[in-house]
Amino acid sequence: MPYQKSPLTTSQPFSLEGFVSSQLDGVIIIQSDGTILGLDEEAAHLLQSTKEALKGNNILKFIPKLQLPEVFSTVESRGRALLQPADATSPRQISYLLRGGWQQLEDAYFLLLHSANSSLEDLKLYSRLFDWMPVGIVVYNLAQEVPIMCNRRLLELFEADDAEAFLYDGPLSLKADNPLKMRLNELRRSEGKRFEMEFPVPEREALCLEVTTSIIPGMGDEHLLLLFQNITDRNSNARRLRESQNPLQAIIGTAVDGIIIIDARGTIQMVNEATIRLFGYAEEEMLNQNIKMLMPQPHRGQHDGYLANYRQTGEERIIGTGREVQGQRKNGELFPFRLGVSRVDVAEGMLFTGVIHDLTEQKKAEQKILRLNRELEQKVEERTEKLTEVVNKLLQSNLKLEQEIKERKAAEDALRQNEEELRRSLEREKELSELKSRFVSMASHEFRTPLTTIASSTELVGLYTNSDQQPKREKHLKRIQSAVTNLTGILGDFLSLSKLEEGKIKNVPTEFQLHELLDEITDDVHTLLKKEQRIDEQYHNVDHNIVLDQKILKNIFINLLSNAIKYSGAGSTITLQVKLEQQLLKVRISDEGIGIPQSEQKHLFSRFFRAENAVNIQGTGLGLNIVKRYLDLLDGDIGFESEEGAGTTFFFEVPVAPAPAE
């Protein structure tokens, strides 16, 4: 039944309204990684959002410079930082206090936000936390030795309605004969403790509570904070577990290896005789204690963090595997053992079983083996010295043999090198022979045709002696002139190729006007046009001075345009596209001629190459090879597109430098 309200005679109950500081701007509970677990309305208003929208966010999103400890700590820290609200308004300067929570709160922190000039030297800064914390809380006045306030959770634990009556006359009233008061009087004021106590509750089973004491930061040593965690179910489960484990205990107790069972928080639930012998503790000294008591540093300080990380992430590091670790006996002595950990899920929760195999004797045996190995090594060294003399004699013989082998290998390498050089020479000779054959075939054809034309036309001119036969003489003179021009072009190709191969043609950039060069080129090739052939000039951005080898560039244009004219029929159009774009000269020359067969396109830039459909058209097969070499000198590139019977397009790009400003 609920406790009845009774007046306090020694002290008035603490007033929550007077307990709240007007300077406190908000309270937030966060996890160790900064995740927001809960907050009050003032904190949500401060962050310009709602409590529901902010839960689950990371506090570092709003206070980037907040210093969170790498390892969970209950030591409070203070500081100043810039707070960035969720609505992206201007940041504001705040002060904060970061207070580590308790294990019952899953390693959480309390973050108290307040104005930059606020004082945290008053107990009322903590009052907002009490009513929505998941553990029972009592603030105890050490000077008066009385409780002055409690939170709603504590009243719920004891099914009480009135806080004043509960504190005055309830099981926590701390009267003279109250065991809790006697336990508190035994504590030093600056020392935080944790212990378990049972409290009777009318008409139901007694409550088993875990009590944690702590001095309230900023309040000196005047007030003591008591936290009450309900462990009634846990203790009942543990008791039932121990009762159900009696047969198992008998089996485990006779095991040669040590066996320890702990719960999810690392509390020891069961040990066997082998464990007691190994660590030197009595069974009652280990039960209900944290397993880290059996570990040396640094593992002792880090073990709680390992378990917390496993509970949060489920990441298994040693579970299901064995590893060699060190244990610490009661007398401080360290000893090696192999630890195997397995997880067991039971109705009462998650348990971990550790099997401990002492490696002390094994390590001693290993040391003995190492000592014997050293002795054996010493004997081996002695025997080795005796063998060294024999080996040295063998080495001398081997050196002579190796020298002979090296000389023979050098002779073989030289022979292989000579064979390779001979093979390359034969390949070059074969290539030159093929080039010679192609040259002779081409020259015999290309020179014979114009020479035959010259001879026949000269003979015919001699027959036309009358004045009325002048048109016929002029006709044959033009044929002679054309043949001579053709021979001149052939010789020019040979001469250009020879100079290129000998490296006599150099890239000599000069400044010139691009449009003027294009006009000069079209004038030069105009005489080569067949009947009704025309050149469609499409220029873009060419009215600029550029720096380039003008002579080489002109030869490239002349060669490609003359090819387009030569391999296109009368009445066709030659398209010349030129544009200057970002220090790059881009040119496309398209014709409507005979095109290049697909199967022969891969040989297009080879010397003396003539396609099958071009054998009846005069040419040396050197023009495109020369163009390719010219573009290599200019750091340019060339490509083509062609379809047999539909024409060919050559396109090339040449980097140019702009003319210097006057």
- Structure confidence by residue, pLDDT tens digits, 346-396: 766 778 888 888 888 888 888 889 899 888 988 888 888 888 888 888 888
What confidence tier does 631 reach under pLDDT thresholds 50, 70, 90? Answer: confident
Integer Cα distance of 381 and 90 in angstroms: 79
Q: What is the pLDDT of residue 105?
A: 59
Q: Contact at 8 Å (CB) between 92 and 83?
A: yes
Tell me the residue type at 120: L
State which fold the 22-121 domain adopts. Answer: Beta-Lactamase (3.30.450)
Q: Is the pLDDT of residue 81 over 60?
A: yes
Chain-centroid distance of CA 660 in Å reads 46
Instruction: Spell out the residues 6+ positions from residue 607 whose beta carbon is closer than 8 angstroms to its own.
Output: 435, 438, 497, 621, 622, 625
Please, what CATH class does the domain formed by 237-358 belong to? Answer: alpha beta
CB 626 within 8 A of CB 497: yes
The domain defined by 505-658 folds into Heat Shock Protein 90 (3.30.565)
Grade residue 86 by pLDDT with cuts at 50, 70 and 90.
confident
- pLDDT of 325 higher than 90: no
DSSP 267: B
Quick one: three-class SS letters along 37-72? EEECHHHHHHCCCCHHHHCCCEHHHCCCCCCCCCCC
| Lowest pLDDT segment from 241-255, 306-320, 373-387, 400-414 | 241-255
Rounded distance between C-alpha atoms, residue 605 and residue 603, angstroms = 6
Crossing angle between the packed helical segments 623-633 and 550-566, to the nearest 10 degrees: 150
Asked if residue 298 has a cis previous peptide bond (ω within 30° of 0), the answer is yes
- Higher per-residue confidence, 613 vs 587: 587
Res 219 pLDDT > 70 = no
Q: Is the pLDDT of residue 23 over 50?
A: no
Contact 181, 172 (CB under 8 A): no
Is the pLDDT score of 662 beyond 80?
no
Confidence at 530, pLDDT banded by 50, 70, 90: confident
The Cα–Cα gap between 578 and 585 comes to 7
Domain boundaries, the chain: 22-121, 237-358, 360-503, 505-658
Q: Given this chain, do its domains 237-358 and 505-658 carry the same CATH topology?
A: no
Task: Judge whether 127 and 15 are in contact, CB under 8 Å.
Answer: no
- The confidence score (pLDDT) of residue 13 equals 38
Strands in 349-358's sheet, in edge-to-edge order, are: 268-271, 258-263, 349-358, 334-346, 322-328
Q: 88 burial class (0-12, 13-18, 19+ CB within 10 angstroms)? A: exposed
Q: pLDDT above 90 covers what percent of the chain?
A: 7
pLDDT at residue 104 is higher than 60: no
CATH number listed for the domain at residues 360-503: 1.10.287.130
Residue with the larger pLDDT of the pair 486 and 377? 377
Res 341: pLDDT: 84
Residues constituting the chain: 662
Using alpha carbons only, give the angle 25, 27, 29 rounded to the nearest 5 degrees.
Answer: 160
